[in-house]
Structure formats: structure tokens, C-alpha cells
Amino acid sequence: MILMEFIVVLGCLLLGTRYGGMGLGLISGIGLFLLTFVFGLAPGQPPVQVMLTILAVIGCAAVLQTAGGLDVMMQFAERLLRRHPQYITILAPLTTWTLTFLCGTGHVVYTMFPIISDIALKKNIRPERPMAVASVASQMAICASPVSVAVVSMVSILAAQQGVGHAYSMLEILMVSVPASLCGVLVAALWSLRRGKDLDKDEEFQERIQDPVQRAFIYDKGETLLNQTFPKQAYWATGIFFAAIAAVVLLGSFSELRPVFEEKGKLAPLSMNLVIQMMMLIAGAFILMSCKVKPAEIANGPVFKAGMVAIFSVFGVAWMSDTFFISHMDVLKENLSHVVQNQPWTYALVLFLISKLVNSQAAALTAIAPMGLALGVDPKLLIAFLPASYGYFVLPTYPSDLACIGFDRSGTTKIGKFIINHSFIIPGLIGVGTASTVGYLLATALL
């Protein structure tokens, strides 16, 4: 019966990925129904606090985007890249990593891809080198951003733990995940410096530019944000958003700054879930009121739409998986706990594989991290292996990778004949492997 139930869960995940994040959440509802009505499992708990926190963060980021704050950040990023074009393979991934780190979502970097391609071509650098690793870096930063869905989910999961030890603060999580993620990006970027053939030695590329139309398409169609002028309100919005991020990190790092309330019979500082929700709502409100934002346009932006998809994905996947794992936790503990405790890398491997199935770091964490805690995995190892929640680069189906391929006019960033041999596979494996290793070393030494 357990095997049949697991097949239902896995089948819903595989089917849901065919319809994107929204479909993943909705089709998980079918799995939840089958587990409850057909197999008789008691339904688990939907991740309400995680969803509300995601909603607050996405609401603030969407208002920021409508106010022009994201364009301000990307203009600064482009100015840096064009000032040092010879270092584009190193600077491009650091730029996309930083944008995601600040905004909490990798969907904000799409505008950077045609700019990176244009700079590389003008410097006669194979665009695949900076572009592929830049796409990977934009996703690796999710596990290091204080306002990303994945990190918010991890804070919520660790805050809700009962009897498994120290509840780690936001700062403790970030002091492991930030340097680990950055190390992974840097090593992947260094490897990318010499990947593929130089453009003048690439027979396929040279054949393509023999056609005058193709040559003009590749070399003459540059894109830039440098000629745009933004109103002062866009800069105000950026400053308000940064202040909110700083407040979240500060209050998460020093619990004595939070008010104390009675909870379950004992005094405890205000939950970080509620703190993040409050700070994001406040920042969004200040941006809305002071930066001439048109409220009707907020829900039409790509950040808001991507955030709503993330909420649905987390909702369905986490509820379905919680129903399965909680119902069989005694059996799983008996058979798996000693394996996971003695070989903690198996937790990272499972997290990596599940993230590929659900195409979401947050959904993978909300499904697997609570199970890891229940099986006795040390909470600091959950923090160490946060980078392993990024496994959806294995197949080039994620929107950022597809966008990257589309924006590379040279055609060097591509999907290979065997699908698995695409431009992102090696930078992704190097980045995640390095980040997980560094994360493990840092967590062991610092936490």
C-alpha cells in the first residue's frame, strides 16, 4: 500500500510538471484526494504560514517592479558589465546572482540576458560562456536571498520544529548559504572561461554569419537600458525595498529586538514568519503611497504572476507530500532514519531529485525538509544542503534557461542532440556540488 501511495504522489508530480508550476499545485490536489478518499490517509496540514509569507514578499516585490525599482537595479548592473566587458564571464553570473539575491526571484533577470549576449558578441567572446552560467547563478542565489520563497520556507520549517534542537536564525542560515552559493557560482564561472570553441574557430557559427541577414541579426541588434531615464520615485522604491530587507535580516538575527508573547504556555519572541510578513507589507505600502504606483498595474507584472504560481505550487505539493509522509512517519523512521543520519548526503540527493520533479526550490524544501527533521537529520545539515534544492537545471525546461537560449542570438547557448547535453548541465553540477560542499564545511564549523 505504501508503494502504491508513493506511486500516486510521484505520478502527480511528474504529470504536474508537464503543465508548469500552476498545474503542479492543482494536480497535487488529485493526489491528495486519492490518498485521503481511496487510501484512507488523514490529510496533512497545508503550509499556511509559508504561503502567507510568500504572498507578502511577492506583493512587495510586485509593487517595487511596478514602481520601476527593478529597472533601476538592472541599469546599474548593465553599467557595471559594459564598463568591464572583458570580464563578462565572471561578472555576468555575479550580476544575476546579486539581482536574485536582492529581489528573491530569478525571474527578474530576463532583461539581462540580451545585454550579456550583446556585450559578449562585441568583445568576440562566445556568448554561451557567460550566459549559461548567468542563468544558473540567477537560480543558485534563491537559496541565499533573505526574501526568497525557498529561504522563507526554510525559516518557517526550522521555526516550527519541535524537540529537534536549536532554532536557527535568519542570519545563521544566511552566513552559510550566502558564501556557499557564491563559491559555487564563482567556480562554475571559472570553469566557463574556456568552455566551447572561440567564435572564430566555431565552424557552425562561422557558417551562420556567412549569411548577411543572419550576421546582421546577430551583431546589429544590441539591447540596452543605459539610455533610459527613470523618475526619482523608482529610486525611492529601491531604497525602501532595501531598507525592508535590512530590517528582516536585523530582526531575524537578534531575537531580543522582537516583542515577546506567550505561546504554548511559554514566552517567545514574535515569529519570524510574522516579522517577514509585516516588513514586506509595510515596504509595499510605503512604495505604493509614495512612489506614484498605479495599483491596477501591480497584478499584471511578471513578478506577481510568477509569485502566484509559486504559491499554488507550494500549496498543492506540500499538502500532498505532508499527507503521505506524516501518515507513514513511523515506518520511514524505522527503515530510513539510520541511513539518513549516518549518510546525510542522501538527504541532499533526495532534495536534488525532488527539486527536478517539482521544478521549484521552495516546493522541494517544503516537501522534503520536514521529513528530514522527522527522520533525525541535524537541522544544520538542512541549512548546509540548501543549494541542493536547485536540481531543475538537469533538463533544460525551466523558463530562465529557455529564455537564455532564446536571447542568445549567436546560437551557442543551446540544447544538445541528446537533450541532457545542454549548455547548463555542467555549470549547474559544478555550482550545486561546490555550494553543497562549502555549505557542509561552513555549517559544521560555524553552527
Question: For residue 286, what is its C-alpha cell?
Answer: 510605503
Contact at 8 Å (CB) between 352 and 140?
no
Q: Are strands 260-263 and 266-269 parallel, antiparallel or unpaired?
A: antiparallel
% residues pLDDT > 70 (the chain): 94
What mean pLDDT comes out for the span 392-420? 79
Contact at 8 Å (CB) between 411 and 204?
yes
Contact at 8 Å (CB) between 80 and 95?
yes
Cα(364)–Cα(229) distance, integer angstroms: 40
Cα(53)–Cα(153) distance, integer angstroms: 8
- Which candidate, 187, 186, 180, 158, places its Cα nearest to that of 170? 158
Whole-number pLDDT of residue 112: 83
pLDDT-wise least confident of 169-173, 269-273, 351-355: 269-273
What mean pLDDT comes out for the span 390-409? 80
Please count the other Cβ atoms lying within 10 Å of the Cβ belonging to residue 84: 11
Cα(83)–Cα(252) distance, integer angstroms: 36
Whole-number pLDDT of residue 183: 97
pLDDT tens digits, one per residue of 185-201: 999 999 999 998 888 88
Whole-number pLDDT of residue 74: 83
Half-sphere exposure of 272 (CA within 13 A, CB side): 29
pLDDT tens digits, one per residue of 52-106: 877 888 888 889 989 988 888 888 888 888 899 899 999 999 999 998 898 777 7
pTM above 0.75, yes or no: yes
- Domain ranges for the chain, please list them: 46-446
pLDDT tens digits, one per residue of 138-193: 999 999 988 787 887 788 788 766 444 566 778 889 999 999 999 999 999 999 99
Supply the Cα-derived Rg of the chain in whole angstroms: 22
Question: For residue 81, what is its C-alpha cell?
Answer: 558589465
Whole-number pLDDT of residue 396: 73
Angle between helix 361-374 and 302-327 (nearest 10): 20
Cα-flanking dihedrals φ and ψ of residue 40, to 5°?
75, 25
Q: If DSSP codes are grouped into helix, strand and coil, which group holds residue 224?
A: coil
Supply the DSSP symbol for 414: -
Average pLDDT value over all residues in the chain: 84
Cα(324)–Cα(336) distance, integer angstroms: 15
How distant, in Å, are the alpha carbons of 97, 270, 439 from that of 67? 22, 31, 36
Supply the DSSP symbol for 37: I
CA angle 177, 380, 356 (to 5 degrees): 60
Sole residue written with cell 506583493: 59
Whole-number pLDDT of residue 163: 47
Cα(323)–Cα(277) distance, integer angstroms: 26
Contact at 8 Å (CB) between 69 and 241?
yes
Please count the other Cβ atoms lying within 10 Å of the Cβ belonging to residue 444: 13
pLDDT tens digits, one per residue of 375-390: 888 888 999 999 999 9
Cα(230)–Cα(235) distance, integer angstroms: 8
Cα(93)–Cα(132) distance, integer angstroms: 9
